[in-house]
Amino acid sequence: MLARVENLPPALRQVLSKLGYQSSTVNITASESVGLSNPANDFARSFAGTIDLISGKSKIQWSVFDDAERDDPFPSNPTIQLDQSIAVIKGSNANNGTYAYVYLHPSLAEKFRTISVSLTPLQCEVLYTYTSIISKYRKGRLETIQKKYADESFEQSIDDLIQRGFLKRYPKGSIRVTASGRIALDSHNI
């Protein structure tokens, strides 16, 4: 599930900031335990580690980064048992950006679940199309959705999603999904 970074505990926000994470949302996975293995690919340097949410202490290890190979920072894949005070973070630093995934105990992750948003089936399909289908295939999918929901006003649904801040229309007419739109779709499907 996606969660807003601003709503996370201060210790977690601080570590994300130190890692160079700049997105306003982060992917959170609820789990009781997680392995720390996080191999890097050919174009990225990976990291993995733990954060004590109460004391703020963190231990993040980066993969080796050289032209010969990129190693997993935790090749033995130790398993961390998650509780209310421990978070695990994994990710990579590639293409001038930092990508991160946070793992929290299910009862703690529940606190960051976004509030359910009321979406019609048509709006869900439109948001899903904008979040998951690349632009060159999107037009065909949107036409299929419009035919499927012929009894509903397709343009009105798009306008409603734009007005609610889930989609953004640019001056040249292109439409993109916003972080709020991703969160709305994610929370609606939970």
For the chain, 190 residues long, give each residue's pLDDT as a single digit of tens.
778 889 899 999 999 999 999 888 888 888 999 988 876 665 677 888 899 999 999 999 887 655 545 566 666 778 889 999 999 999 888 777 888 889 999 988 878 766 567 888 999 999 999 988 888 889 999 999 999 999 889 999 999 999 988 999 999 888 999 878 887 887 665 4
Can you tell me which residue has the tokens 């973070």?
Answer: 89
Strand 33-35 to 25-30 pairing: unpaired
C-alpha distance from residue 70 to each of 43, 63, 64, 73 (Å):
9, 6, 5, 9
Can you tell me which residue has the tokens 């980066």?
Answer: 62
Enter the tokens of residue 146.
């419009």
Domain ranges of the chain: 2-112, 121-188
169 membership: H or E segment, kind and range: strand 167-169
Q: 3-class DSSP state for residue 167?
A: strand
Q: Output the pTM of the full model.
A: 0.67
Residues facing residue 94 across a β-bridge = 97
Domain 121-188: which CATH number of 1.20.5, 1.10.10, 1.10.357, 1.10.1220: 1.10.10
